[in-house]
Amino acid sequence: MKNKILIANRGEIAVRIIRAAKELGYETVAVYSVADQQSLHVKLADEAVCIGGNKSKESYLNMNNILSAAISTGCNAIHPGYGFLAENSEFVEMVERCNIAFIGPSSKSISLIGDKSAARSLAKANGIPIVEGSDGVISDAQEGLKIAKKIGYPVMIKASSGGGGRGISIVRSDEEFLSAFERTAMEAETSFGDASLYIERFIESPKHIEIQIIADAKGNYVHMFERDCSMQRRNQKMIEEAPSTILNELLRRKIGMAAIKLAKAIHYVNAGTLEFLVDSKGSFYFIEMNTRIQVEHPVTEAITGLDIVKEQIKIAYGKELSFKQRDVKVNGHAIECRINAEDAMHGFMPTPGKITNILFPGGMGVRIDTHIYPGYEVPPFYDSLLAKLIVHAPTRREAIKKMRIALEQFVIEGISTNIEYQYLIMHNPDFIKGQYDTGFIARFNTLVEAENNE
Ligand code: ADP
Ligand code: ADP
Ligand code: MG
């Protein structure tokens, strides 16, 4: 029987996975919503199945329809991509029960560490530093208020099931606390179907440093170094790079070892990412684990020369990792810019609509992962990511130069994007020096807005 993979996702990541599967000689099945009928992943896969209406709930979150599609097309594996059902342990359990390989960790691992509050307890029990905060989820607003007082303001209220930067609020005083708590609980309920919240001390101007790990079912664990994802807008990543400019060898080793320790503690198999905040004194704190492929994985692929998605697939089919820790070496520097359908120069309004023309940049060390093409209509129903532009060069300085030229030569007509905004950041003196933290974009926006108002 031929190996056949259903890709339970859309957009650039579905395209990325189809390519990896094809390289391995596996067949692919795409699923799509009505709005995505003309999407590239549908055209590139060997087969495609419509799984429902435009709303994610009706299609990409529709577990029964996705499983039916997998069974009726004879798939023996499902790759979930990121977002949607990627970290849903109920879905993964259903996949397992159907005797289909899930290209990701077991439902058990996900239920152990997928909940962000539970992940904190697990890290703590394994001696990995976490941000000071609540023990577990908070039962009600009054209890939360007491904990916030004890930690001292500012604090962050965070959804246990949160992701993609949503379900997070910063609170600066007792007066703000109760209403922020109610608001965040409501947002968490509507976005994630789970209102549980926990609290963390707000770390001022930290760096977001994450460790890519990968493990096979034979007990081999490897970390693939860090990514610096501190360039964020509203807790959502916009630019990622590797290696980080702020880690020395000792700190790099310490965080890498912490990541492996936690992954081993839950017998994690497949690719995963452990996210940490690093403060100005160089102390690091675990914040969460993403039990899936991440948007920014190409940055790691660029500096290591290893294909993470192909490894993910092979691992799910029971193969051993094709490399050992000693084989993973950092070569040069990589930067990724997320190109989004949003009018970044005017408040980041989403800009769905028809793309009339595109010119992609290219050349040595330039990679584009995307699902867009001339004539493609960006639907208003899903996230705004249009393309990921990744550059790789011997040094950070050269990577920045390459990125500037690539952005300059990247033309998307018909809708507004954030290409010009990314271009501005690539010229910012603090970014060039590597001196930026998670507060950079908020400060930068104040400048852009001031200029717009002149
Ligand atoms: P990454 O962690 O890979 O950098 P993001 O945080 O940008 O990626 O999330 C990637 C996509 O997955 C976004 O569309 C985001 O909304 C979605 N997502 C992430 N976590 C969750 C979650 N827990 N529930 C639902 N969607 C999520
Ligand atoms: P998500 O699940 O949405 O990815 P995270 O817990 O990973 O949420 O946090 C997203 C971002 O929010 C972090 O990268 C960081 O910039 C910011 N953040 C989260 N927790 C804290 C904290 N305790 N102090 C300061 N910033 C934080
Ligand atoms: Mg995160």
Q: What is the CATH number of the domain that holds 256?
A: 3.30.470.20
Q: What are phi and psi of 68, to 5 degrees?
A: -60, -40
Ligand 1, residues 13, 57, 82, 237: which to mutate, most atoms within 8 A of Cβ?
Answer: 82
**How is residue 326 annotated by DSSP?**
G
pLDDT class of 307 with cuts at 50, 70, 90? very high
Residues 43 and 170 in one domain: no
Q: How far is the CA of 81 from the centre of ligand 1 (A)?
A: 10
> Is there a domain that residue 167 lies in?
yes
- Determine how β-strand 77-79 pairs with β-strand 4-7: parallel
> Is there a domain that residue 120 lies in?
no
Answer whether 227's CB lies under 8 Å from 240's CB.
yes
Residues 213 and 84 in one domain: no
Residue 453's pLDDT is what?
A: 77
> Is there a domain that residue 122 lies in?
no
Overall number of domains in the chain? 3
Q: What is the CATH number of the domain that holds 163?
A: 3.30.1490.20
Return all residues near 128 (Cβ < 8 A) that are at least 6 apart.
Answer: 258, 261, 262, 286
Residues 301 and 412 in one domain: yes
Residues 67 and 142 in one domain: no
Residue type, 197: L
Instruction: Give the model confidence (pLDDT) of 270-291 as tens digits.
Output: 999 999 999 999 999 999 999 9
Instruction: Give the model confidence (pLDDT) of 123-137 as tens digits.
Output: 999 999 999 999 999
Q: Where are the beta strands (DSSP E) in 11-83?
A: 27-33, 47-52, 77-79
Residues 406 and 257 in one domain: yes
Residues 221 and 190 in one domain: no
Q: Ligand 2 site: residues with CB under 6 angstroms?
A: 131, 156, 158, 162-165, 168, 200, 202-203, 206, 208, 232, 235, 275, 277, 287-288, 438
pLDDT class of 196 with cuts at 50, 70, 90? very high
Q: What is the mean pLDDT of residues 221-247?
A: 97
For the full predicted model, state whether its pTM sits above 0.85: yes
- Determine how β-strand 27-33 pairs with β-strand 4-7: parallel
Domain ranges, residue 41: 4-103
Asked if pLDDT for residue 232 goes beyond 90, the answer is yes
Residues 306 and 162 in one domain: no
Asked if pLDDT for residue 454 goes beyond 80, the answer is no
Return all residues near 25 (Cβ < 8 A) that are at least 6 apart.
Answer: 3
The domain boundary, picked from 181, 201, 221, lies at 201
Q: How far is the CA of 162 from the centre of ligand 3 (A)?
A: 8
Nearest CA to ligand 1 atom 20: 163
Residues 264 and 330 in one domain: yes
pLDDT class of 448 with cuts at 50, 70, 90? confident
Q: How far apart are CA 164 and CA 191, in angstroms?
A: 11
Asked if pLDDT for residue 76 goes beyond 80, the answer is yes
Return all residues near 317 (Cβ < 8 A) that are at least 6 apart.
Answer: 3, 77, 101
> Is there a domain that residue 340 lies in?
yes
The domain boundary, picked from 156, 181, 201, lies at 201
CA quadruple 26, 31, 36, 37: dihedral sign: positive
The domain boundary, picked from 201, 217, 237, lies at 201
Q: How far apart are CA 202 and CA 186, in angstroms?
A: 21
Instruction: Give the model confidence (pLDDT) of 35-62 as tens digits.
Output: 999 999 999 999 999 999 999 999 999 9
pLDDT class of 451 with cuts at 50, 70, 90? confident
Residue 447's pLDDT is what?
A: 81
> Is there a domain that residue 114 lies in?
no
Give percent of the chain with pLDDT exceeding 90.
97
Partners of 359 in the β-ladder: 411
Residues 193 and 211 in one domain: no
Tokens coding 358: 């595109």
Residue 178's pLDDT is what?
A: 96
Residues 166 and 213 in one domain: no
pLDDT class of 380 with cuts at 50, 70, 90? very high
Tokens coding 409: 């030569």
Answer whether 384's CB lies under 8 Å from 341's CB.
yes
Backbone torsion region of residue 282, taken as left when φ is above 0, otherwise alpha when ψ lies between -120 and 50, otherwise beta: left
* Integer CA distances (angstroms), 436 to 281, 337, 440, in order: 14, 15, 6
Asked if pLDDT for residue 303 goes beyond 90, the answer is yes
Instruction: Give the model confidence (pLDDT) of 355-374 as tens digits.
Output: 999 999 999 999 999 999 99
Nearest CA to ligand 1 atom 27: 83
Q: Ligand 1 site: residues with CB under 6 angstroms?
A: 82-83, 87, 161, 163-165, 192, 236-237, 290, 294-296, 383
Q: What are phi and psi of 46, to 5 degrees?
A: -65, -35
> Is there a domain that residue 116 lies in?
no
Closest residue by Cα to residue 198 from 209, 179, 185? 185
Residues 192 and 222 in one domain: no
> Is there a domain that residue 420 lies in?
yes
Residues 241 and 173 in one domain: no
* Integer CA distances (angstroms), 403 to 51, 252, 301, 341, 426, in order: 38, 25, 17, 19, 8
Cα–chain center distance at 411:
25
Closest residue by Cα to residue 329 from 225, 213, 212, 209? 225
Residue 446's pLDDT is what?
A: 86
Residue 452's pLDDT is what?
A: 78
